[in-house]
């Protein structure tokens, strides 16, 4: 799983946004864009940014102990910190982190039935963490009028538009139902679910994840 912390106001981010788009087309990778808001003062307010993503990026840095918070930054499998435009670095981090105990070892499924999303997590004795669901827009083209990327039209891929904690997970198999209305935003056409060790404020390794396109975009 790759999380890209990016910003419309960052001149170094467009190459990383393209890399994220390429990764998003790989069915073996769950690649998400999480636009941050701390560069908004540079002259262009990021139209997709969410302060929760800025907080998540900072929480990762505290847990790693390196205090590295920048854009474009990719966090791979909840542990590795990589320059977001460095595809080879991201791929190497994916291989390296897969060897860590528990990383992406828990089967997760997410399916849609009408206006409900069903989330299922398999049993994994001795594990625990949190289950989260993300509302995702698979492609969002943005024309940037001001700031460092003035005049550029950039397509952002798998943009997280909302996040909701589904459950605390104690290692036992479990299933939960989430009404689409609980995560709805304009243009949302997919969902991503992940199980992560630790908590929102102290995120650990990514234990499992799944991605599912919706039958119709949310309006």
Q: How many helices (DSSP H) and strands (DSSP E) are in the chain?
A: 3, 11
- What is the distance between the alpha carbons of residues 158 and 163, in angstroms, rounded to a whole number? 13
Domain assignment of residue 52, yes or no: yes
Residue 188 lies inside a defined structural domain of this protein: yes
The range of the structural domain enclosing residue 181 comes to: 2-213
Close Cβ partners of 3 (under 8 Å, ≥ 6 residues apart): 32, 34, 56, 74, 75, 76
What pLDDT does residue 81 have? 96
| Domain-located, residue 70 | yes
Would you state the pLDDT for residue 185?
Answer: 83
Q: Is the dihedral of CA 193, 55, 2, 104 positive or negative?
A: negative
In a domain? residue 21: yes
pLDDT under 50 in the chain at which residues?
A: none
User: Is 218 a member of any domain?
Assistant: no
In a domain, 15, yes or no: yes
Count of structural domains within the chain: 1
Residue 135 domain flag: yes
User: 113-131: b or e for each residue (b if 16 or more CB lie within 10 Å)?
Assistant: eeeebebbbeebeebebbb
Query: Is residue 219 in a domain?
Result: no
Whose structure tokens read 């800025």?
54
pLDDT for the residue numbered 219: 56
Tens digit of pLDDT for each residue in 98-124?
A: 988 899 999 999 999 999 999 999 999
């Amino acid at each position: 799983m790759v999380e890209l912390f990016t910003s419309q106001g960052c001149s170094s981010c467009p190459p990383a946004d393209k890399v994220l788009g390429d990764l998003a087309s790989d069915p073996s990778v769950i690649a998400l864009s999480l636009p941050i808001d701390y560069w908004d003062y540079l002259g262009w307010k990021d139209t997709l940014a969410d302060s929760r993503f800025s907080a998540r990026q900072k929480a990762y840095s505290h847990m790693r102990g390196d205090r590295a918070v920048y854009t474009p930054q990719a966090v791979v499998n909840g542990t590795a910190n990589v320059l977001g435009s460095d595809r080879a670095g991201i791929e190497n981090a994916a291989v390296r982190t897969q060897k860590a105990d528990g990383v992406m070892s828990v089967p997760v499924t997410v399916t849609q039935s009408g206006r409900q999303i069903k989330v299922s997590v398999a049993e994994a004795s001795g594990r625990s963490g949190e289950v989260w669901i993300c509302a995702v827009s698979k492609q969002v083209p943005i024309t940037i009028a001001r700031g460092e990327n003035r005049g550029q039209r950039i397509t952002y891929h798998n943009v997280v538009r909302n996040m909701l904690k589904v459950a605390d997970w104690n290692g036992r198999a479990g299933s939960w139902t989430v009404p689409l209305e609980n995560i709805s935003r304009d243009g949302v056409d997919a969902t991503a679910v992940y199980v992560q060790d630790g908590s929102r404020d102290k995120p650990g390794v990514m234990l499992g994840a799944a991605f599912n396109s919706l039958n119709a975009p949310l309006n």
